Amino acid sequence: MRWARPIALLATCILLPNQLVHGGKSTSDHWAFQQIKSPSTPGMELGENSTSVIDFFISRTQIGKGLKAQPLAEPDILLRRLYLDLSGLPPLPQQRQQFLEDPSHASFERIVDQLLSSVDYAENWARHWMDIWRYSDWYGLGKQLRTSQKHLWHWRDWIIDSLNEDKGYDRMIQEMLAGDEIAPGNPKVVRATGFLARNYYLFNRNTWLDSTIEHTTKAFLGLTLNCAKCHDHKYDPLSQKDYYKMRAIFEPHQVRLDPLPGQTNLEIDGLPRVFDDHLDAPTYLFKRGNDKSPDIDQLITPDIPGIFGKLDIQSIPLPITAYAPGTRKYVIRDLLKESEEKFQKALSTLESSSDSSQRIPNELKLQAARTNHEALKARIEADRRKWIDRETEDRCTEAISLATRKQWLAELADAELGLVQARRQLDILAEDQKATSKDLKKVEKTIEERQTTIEKLKSRGPDEDYTSIKASRKALESPADKHSDYPPVYPNLSTGRRRALAYAITNPENPLAARVAVNHVWLRLMGSAFVTDTTDFGLRSSPPLQQDVLDFLASDLMQNDWSLKRLIKQIVTSNAYRRSSARRTIDDIRNRKDPENRYHWHAVVKRMNAQMIRDSILHLSGTLDPQLGGPSIPASDKIKTKRKSLYFLHSRDDQHRFLAIFDNADILNCYRREESIAPQQSLAMMNDQFMQESAVRLAEMLNPQSDLPVFVSNAFKRVLGRRPTEKETQTCITALNIIRTSENSDAQELRIRSHLILALFNHNDFITIR
């Protein structure tokens, strides 16, 4: 008998995927694999001040369970909850007062619309989606890029812009997976592929693709396809072959940095994006997931798991500027401008120098600048005829021949200049008593190399072909590669595989994409998710208790252009969202039929995330910098920026210390934030220099010379969004008087009252969203 259960499990595992059984039902019956249909609302009756279908479904369940919902939250508490959930910032006293004067449902809806139309909403919710999509800035050692991509902030800004304009969630998925195939000539769309570029890993292509597959399916489909890498999935209808079919979709893609207008140095700025490079790269199934044991007898074709149908893959011809970025007008303009500036600088140096010993080097520098400028113009002309005008072979040959000779002359001029400069350096070292023999030998070796280069150039003459303008930089495929190994022009086709995948994921008949999105939004607004494990909608996920709400919202999302703003508005204007989270005694909770609040009879108290805490403190102290977008800011404490926290560098080695204390996003996996309670958090809130400065600034704003009761009241209203009770007022006054007597006699009143601000920042009503 002891073998009965293992044998039963084994029998389950060897069934064909479409025959898998879970809980006595076949996978075709699994709730999450059913096409989304909006549930009916027979005899719908809504409660007072409610126009929400959400409330109909929830109240129907509550009545059936004999539960009595909490009343709506007090206006000041509700307003603060709304502001923090939508904008990531608390309301200011004047905004609170306006709502208290008219706390009607219509007034509440107007505020919802105002917040959703603000850029604060886009920045706040961008941070939520950056968690889910694993945003991480580049990491490397020295100049070596190892993970992610430099300038990935362009993708972060795309997320903000997309949310701000309420771009459809389906379109966002399509652009992130295949922006380079959907709109290859539009950098504002192509930058979305930073989602894929973020997975780059220098040392192992298999690790890179494994991350891509795992987090594409988790983020957009709520499936753990990564569990099928070594064997068929133990629970879901996902075979090992399905895993490698998905890999075949991504097999051709690589990552590169494209130039942007006004900047030729890709170290300073560039657009990280993906593109299909190795169009015919084969995909093989790895036996037991071991990349050392590919099954080369079986070529895997790109496709998606059978439960989602088939992919419609069509290759995509690319515009010239997409596969030959050196032909872009702004690239040519910027390169010519830079080259002309180098020539003018060399000319100015020669004319202004009175040092006779520098005459020959300066003349050679001018000659090198001139020949390089001429070579650049010749190469641009050859590229134009070859790629843009597509002129006859004779006309192209003429331009190519000229560009080849000019390029050779430029290389020779550079080598001769380098030789003269090296000899000059050797003369200086020979007169330097501190110079070592090692220093001298190093320069002598450089001289020998330059001489050899000159001799080779002169002996061989011009090459048969020139080098096209190399404007972009492809990420290294392995540490053994060099950037010079890669050609300046890329394939003129894209496979269309990723576009087909994106369209399949966002197809309205796909039962998962909309449900997964709604689940994430609901979690962040309501404090709990329909499906607790947001990455697993497979057979292990039981039907949600409120599946009717989930399916209604998912259906409505798809029917209304996948508008996330509409989805959020529907949730926050419901009574379910607006209910009180009033504290109850332990006995009262135990007597409830739903102590875990599975049926949403009261609001859930949430804790601010790390970004909200820091940004709210800056906002309340009047120092928050509203600048939008741009390069990531170093996370060092030495950088005294007042910008929002989502703009800090966030990578393996760059994490803001204050944010990290409050459970900042994990760069590897953050589908939902962890929450810890640690003494370091309270210590940081009281002693961090940022906190001390903010408290003093806010105390100054509240007029430290005002009467203590007035000061305490104003401090409570600004920091906590409510009035203090009489007991709280008296306690604060007593505490401030004690501090005053214990401080030095010359202590400033401003400094004394800042202690109250620090105490309020540590208050539970500040750190939580009630």
Q: What is the pLDDT averaged over residues 680-698?
A: 94
| pLDDT score for 52 | 87
Geometric angle at alpha carbon 22, from 18 and 28, rounded to 5°: 40
Residue 17: pLDDT band with limits 50, 70, 90: very low
Each residue of 310-343: b (16+ CB within 10 Å) or e? Answer: ebebeebebebbbbbbbbbeebbebbeeebeebb
Burial class, 598, CB count within 10 angstroms (exposed 0-12 / middle 13-18 / buried 19+): middle
What integer best gives the mean pLDDT of the chain? 91
- Report how many helices (DSSP H) and strands (DSSP E) the chain contains, helices first: 31, 13
CA–CA separation, 768 and 677 (whole Å): 13
Model confidence pLDDT, tens digit, residues 244-266: 999 999 999 999 999 999 999 99
CA–CA separation, 311 and 89 (whole Å): 43
| pLDDT score for 704 | 85
Q: What is the pLDDT averaged over residues 109-128?
A: 98
Distances (CA, A) of 295 to 245, 279, 286, 480: 14, 20, 6, 26
Which residues are paired to 284 by β-bridges? Answer: 299
Model confidence pLDDT, tens digit, residues 404-452: 999 999 999 999 998 988 888 888 888 887 888 888 889 889 999 999 9
| pLDDT score for 584 | 60
Distances (CA, A) of 328 to 259, 333, 374, 471, 620: 9, 9, 19, 9, 46
Model confidence pLDDT, tens digit, residues 172-225: 999 999 999 999 999 999 999 999 999 999 999 999 999 999 999 999 999 999
Could you tell me what percent of the chain has a pLDDT over 90? 76
Could you tell me what percent of the chain has a pLDDT over 70? 93
CA–CA separation, 514 and 511 (whole Å): 7
Residue 22: pLDDT band with limits 50, 70, 90: very low
Evaluate whether 270 touches 260 at the Cβ level (below 8 Å).
yes
Residue 590: pLDDT band with limits 50, 70, 90: very low
Q: What is the pLDDT averaged over residues 79-100?
A: 97
User: Which has the minimum average pLDDT: 415-424, 501-510, 524-533, 622-631?
Assistant: 415-424
Helix axes 708-719, 726-742, angle to 10 degrees: 110
Residue 587: pLDDT band with limits 50, 70, 90: very low
| pLDDT score for 286 | 96
Among the listed residues 43, 146, 81, the one whose alpha carbon sits nearest the alpha carbon of residue 476: 146
Q: What is the pLDDT averaged over residues 344-348?
A: 91
Inform me whether the pLDDT recorded for 168 exceeds 90: yes
Residue 25: pLDDT band with limits 50, 70, 90: very low
Model confidence pLDDT, tens digit, residues 316-337: 999 999 999 999 999 999 999 9
Q: What is the pLDDT averaged over residues 365-390?
A: 91
Q: What is the pLDDT averaged over residues 45-49?
A: 51
Residue 392: pLDDT band with limits 50, 70, 90: low
pTM exceeds 0.85 for this model: yes
Geometric angle at alpha carbon 360, from 355 and 365, rounded to 5°: 105
The two structure tokens encoding residue 611: 């970004």
Residue reference for tokens 């009467």: 707
